[in-house]
Amino acid sequence: MARLFSRGKGNVLFFGQWIRYNTAKSNAQETGDAHGTAYLDGPGRLVLETMEKRRGQRQQLLLVPEHASHEAELDLCRACGSTASRDAEVLSFRNLATRVLGQVGGLADVTLDNGGKLLTLQRALLETAPQMTVYRKPSQKVGFLEQMLALFDELRSYEVTPEILYQQAQDIDGSTHDKLTDLSLLYAAYEARLRRPGLDARDRMTKLCDHLEESGYVRGKDIFIDGFTYFNAQERRALAVFLRQARSVTVTLLGEVNSREEIFEPTLKTMSMLERLAASEGKPVKLLSLTNEDPSALGHLERHFFGENLPYEGDSTVIRLREAATVYSEVEQTAADIRRLLAAGKCRCRDITVAARNMTEYAGTIETVFERYGIPVYLSRRSDILEKPVLTMLLSAVDAVTGGIQNESQMTLRINGDSVLTIYTITGENRDNRSRMGSRIVLRRQATTVYAGEVYEIAPYYGMDEDLLRRCFSLILGTWNNS
């Protein structure tokens, strides 16, 4: 059986027998630990309560995203006590792969990290370059290899094999055909090097899909899946095994049934995918919608933000709406509010969470402003080592000494830690193809040199786009010619 819940307003899918829940508790206000996470609210809390009620009946598994596994373990212990591990465990897909491979064998096999993958890809690139058209003499820079590696990881996660990519390339004409053909050759060579005789260096998720069913690790268990917005093809393969072998599968999603709001569109697509998956495995589906009626001002805002404009009758001073001309000014106001809260003794730094629509745009400014205001900040993200100025300078110096600067050099504009745009000076053979590689645009062609530019996603936030870059570069060329 499988079910699908949601946090706040949302949906629950049941695959299998119907189980009735008392949702009164999910509508109550949360009290107690100030550091409780979203798992203690709505369906997340209902999942934990269900796991606590079933203790001693059968083994249970709570599957969550990698970044939420620690907090989910704490929540499970709060709900089930210090002996929770006797009946239940919290895993991510990665940790599940470790358990399965430890049971069927293969845990000791080499699994390459990003550095090892880059070296393997570089070797495959050198081997296949003579057979390729567009990438016959490709860039050996780390940035180019990282883009290729990210592309191949994405293709693998959606189970797009080199053969499928090659077949698709045959149905397309022009330069796109050449690029896809080259990519399929490189992709095949890279996969072949990952799985040579006596060596299986593929990623853990691929190995999990190959061995999950034969391991029987989830057989007869109650499985609860919380915190996911979508599932890629490899994860869907694992879900199919869950449906065949587990006693019940419960999936929680955030959304509203029959909602036309764009914010819930990914949820509805995922829900539809899960229903089709259950049907393909011959499992019945039940859908349960949960509504958390929060009477506070924030709850009223949540219910009517996208709907009817109804005034709130109670005290709304806990919500403040401010207008700021720039991101820097916005973050400064937030920092000042935090300082006032700390000075008044109303809370501690660990009790405060700062959220933004796109944290990538705000991260650099938050780090700068909060440091100036003396506010310790923890950003739950990984930063690229190349964002560190000293390391970038050292790597550029090494690249210049080894001769890479003779063929292609670049200058990247960064604002508040964000890469806004890059200007490339490209010489040598195959410079025209390299100037159009990825999302690059050609700015100027000369006899032996091509100038190209690349505008990143965050650039419009700082007032830059491709047209403006072209105009500005023309002005720069005019200044060079007049000097």
Neighbours of 22 (CB within 10 A): 8
The total of other beta-carbon atoms located within 10 Å of residue 450's CB is 22
Residue 167, beta-bridge partner list: none
SS3 14: strand
Query: What pLDDT, on the 0 to 100 scale, is given for residue 62?
Result: 93
CA 336 to centroid of chain Cα atoms: 31
Q: Do residues 149 and 122 lie in contact, with contact meaning Cβ atoms separated by under 8 Å?
A: no
What pLDDT is attached to residue 387?
A: 53
Rounded distance between C-alpha atoms, residue 62 and residue 5, angstroms:
13
Identify the residue whose tokens are 């065949």.
244
Report whether 308 contacts 292 (CB < 8 A). Answer: no
Q: Find out whether 236 and 208 touch, Cβ atoms under 8 Å.
A: no
Q: How far is CA 349 from CA 72, 184, 285, 307, 383, in A?
A: 22, 50, 44, 34, 23
Which tokens is 407 given?
Answer: 């063929």
Encoded tokens for 338: 């935090």
- Give me the pLDDT at residue 84, please: 84
pLDDT at position 197 is 63
Give the contacts of 346 (CB within 8 A, at least 6 positions apart): none
Instruction: Classify residue 254 as left (phi > 0), alpha (psi -120 to 50) or beta.
Output: beta
pLDDT at 4: 41
| 450-455 and 441-445 beta bridge pairing | antiparallel
Task: Reduce the DSSP state of residue 405 to 3 states and report it.
Answer: helix
State how far Cα 394 lies from the chain centre.
30
Helix (H, G, I), strand (E, B) or coil at 460: helix
Q: Does the pTM exceed 0.85?
A: no
Per-residue model confidence as pLDDT tens for the chain (483 residues) = 444 433 334 444 434 322 222 233 333 333 333 233 334 455 677 888 888 888 888 899 999 998 888 888 888 888 888 888 888 999 999 899 989 988 888 777 767 777 788 888 888 888 888 888 887 776 666 777 888 888 888 888 888 899 999 998 888 888 888 889 989 999 999 888 887 765 666 778 888 888 999 999 999 999 999 988 889 889 999 999 999 999 999 998 887 777 777 778 888 889 889 999 999 999 988 888 877 677 888 888 877 877 778 888 888 888 888 888 888 889 999 999 999 989 988 888 888 888 888 887 888 888 888 888 889 888 766 555 545 555 555 555 555 544 444 567 778 888 776 788 888 888 888 888 888 888 889 998 888 888 899 988 778 877 788 888 888 887 665 544 444
The length of the chain in residues reads 483
Residue 69 identity (one-letter amino acid)? S
The full DSSP string for 99-163 is HHHHHHS-TTS----HHHHHHHHHHHHHHHGGG-STTSS----HHHHHHHHHHHHHHHHTT--HH
Question: Which helix or strand (DSSP H or E) is residue 408 part of?
Answer: strand 408-415
The token pair at 221 is: 């268990």
Structure-token pair, residue 364: 């650099």
Residue 270 has, within 13 A of its CA and on its CB side, a CA count of 26
pLDDT at res. 82:
81
Strands 450-455 and 418-426: antiparallel
94 vs 168: CA distance, rounded Å? 31
Write down the pLDDT at residue 140: 61
The pLDDT, as a whole number, for residue 392 is 52
Angle at alpha carbon of residue 78, lines to 76 and 83, rounded to 5° = 70
Cα distances from 286 to residues 13, 17, 237, 473, in angstroms, run 5, 8, 21, 59
Q: Token digits for 333?
A: 């106001």
Please state, in angstroms and rounded to a whole number, the distance separating the CA atoms of residues 478 and 476: 5
In what helix (H) or strand (E) does residue 47 lie, and over which residues does it extend? helix 42-53
Closest CA to 15 of 217, 235, 250: 250
Report the distance separating Cα 53 and Cα 88, nearest Å.
Answer: 12
- The pLDDT assigned to 21 comes to 29
Residue 243 burial (CB count, 10 A): 22
